[in-house]
């Protein structure tokens, strides 16, 4: 069975990729992922803002209480060097590259324009096979127009594309007014792939101490629906590759994504829940299904159920709720 798939100009041995997550913080896990059959790995994100905050934090703590009493001119010894830039991440790329043979994709969340391009260049130099741009922040400024936000995305993409030569994927949120239009504009700006969609930590309220607390919900198979729709819609509308992320727990989940047009399918929650070797289970399930259904290759089914290749393309555009009820068979 030919499981290969094209993504970001690379031929992956199969479509399964480990998505950006804490899994990739340990080189050992990256090795396990390869061993389990992953075709590529996206490293955890480098957050420029975090680097800046850490610099400020270290600066504060190594200076704040100096010279306050005659007995103590400082409270910490001063290391000769700090690793407060992207060095640790860059070293990690290099280590990952030397540990595995599968492609290693770096993930970047910048803050400043200079940061996006500088870090992207450094990631390229460190050996990353591609870069996934993880652009998102919660716009709370009531004066900030949608257009400005959209342009910011485009400008970042453009700057990074100009700065580096390796492929660039863009991991998107679903919260654009017109996703199709945005996808097209990203496509035109040179995105080599779009990754649909980013999952975000959503805050929760703790009723005991009336605090807002960060909340991490692992995905379930039910979460494939939104990316599924948009991959189907975008499949033949953009040149960029499409990668699916969210909700892949079974071979069937992955197959559905591939059917609607995904070049690659990314996994995280199910691996966190079931262990890295669950990826092999999913891969085996894909292979079995393909064999049972007598497909020749992944490529054969890829996009076979995209919007443009189904009998009723409007089914991906429905104002679902009303039609769904209309379609429901009354059982009594």
Query: Which residues would be at the binding site for another protein (CB under 8 A)?
Result: 51-52, 54-85, 88, 209-210
Say what the alpha-carbon torsion angle 147, 150, 154, 155 is, to the nearest 10 degrees. Answer: 60
Measured from the CB atom, the residue of 48 and 192 that comes closer to another protein is 48
* Nearest distance in Å: CB 207, another protein: 11
* Nearest distance in Å: CB 122, another protein: 13
* Nearest distance in Å: CB 211, another protein: 8
Measured from the CB atom, the residue of 113 and 284 that comes closer to another protein is 113
* Nearest distance in Å: CB 243, another protein: 30
Measured from the CB atom, the residue of 52 and 163 that comes closer to another protein is 52
Measured from the CB atom, the residue of 82 and 200 that comes closer to another protein is 82
State phi, psi for 87 to the nearest 5 degrees.
-55, -45
Measured from the CB atom, the residue of 58 and 299 that comes closer to another protein is 58
Measured from the CB atom, the residue of 63 and 320 that comes closer to another protein is 63
Tokens of 34: 């390869």
How many whole angstroms from its chain centre is CA 266? 8
* CB under 8 A, 24+ apart: contacts of 119-123: 119/46, 119/48, 119/86, 120/160, 120/163, 120/164, 120/168, 121/163, 121/164, 122/86, 122/90, 123/46, 123/86, 123/89, 123/90, 123/93, 123/164
Measured from the CB atom, the residue of 212 and 325 that comes closer to another protein is 212
* Nearest distance in Å: CB 75, another protein: 4
* Nearest distance in Å: CB 79, another protein: 4
**Is the distance from CB of 159 to CB of 206 less than 8 angstroms?**
no
Measured from the CB atom, the residue of 73 and 202 that comes closer to another protein is 73
* Nearest distance in Å: CB 94, another protein: 14
- How far apart CA 237 and CA 183 sit, in angstroms, is 9
* Nearest distance in Å: CB 104, another protein: 19
């Amino acid at each position: 069975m030919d499981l290969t798939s094209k993504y970001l100009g690379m031929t992956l041995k199969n479509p399964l990729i480990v998505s950006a997550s804490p899994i990739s913080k340990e080189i050992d896990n990256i090795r396990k992922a390869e061993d389990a059959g992953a075709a590529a790995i996206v490293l955890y994100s480098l957050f420029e803002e975090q680097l800046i905050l850490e610099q400020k934090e270290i600066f504060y703590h190594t200076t704040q209480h100096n010279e306050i009493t005659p007995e103590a001119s400082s409270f910490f010894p001063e290391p000769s060097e700090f690793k407060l830039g992207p060095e640790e991440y860059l070293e990690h790329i290099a280590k990952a590259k030397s540990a595995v043979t599968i492609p290693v994709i770096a993930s970047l969340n910048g803050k400043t324009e200079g940061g996006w391009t500088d870090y992207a260049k450094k990631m390229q130099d460190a050996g990353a096979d591609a870069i996934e741009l993880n652009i998102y922040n919660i716009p709370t400024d009531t004066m900030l127009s949608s257009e400005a936000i959209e342009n910011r995305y485009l400008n970042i993409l453009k700057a990074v594309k100009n700065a580096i030569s390796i492929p660039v994927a863009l991991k998107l949120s679903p919260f654009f007014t017109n996703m199709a239009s945005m996808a097209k504009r990203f496509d035109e700006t040179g995105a080599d792939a779009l990754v649909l969609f980013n999952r975000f930590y959503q805050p929760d309220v703790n009723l005991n101490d009336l605090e807002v607390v960060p909340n991490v919900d692992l995905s379930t198979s039910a979460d494939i629906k939104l990316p599924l729709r948009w991959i189907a819609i975008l499949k033949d509308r953009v040149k960029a590759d499409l990668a699916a992320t969210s909700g892949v727990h079974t071979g069937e989940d992955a197959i559905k994504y591939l059917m609607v047009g995904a070049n690659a399918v990314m996994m995280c929650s199910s691996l966190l829940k079931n262990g890295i070797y669950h990826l092999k289970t999913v891969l085996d399930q894909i292979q079995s299904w393909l064999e049972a259904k007598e497909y020749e290759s992944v490529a054969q089914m890829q996009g076979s159920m995209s919007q443009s290749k189904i009998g009723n393309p409007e089914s991906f555009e429905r104002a679902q709720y009303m039609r769904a009820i209309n379609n429901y068979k009354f059982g009594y």
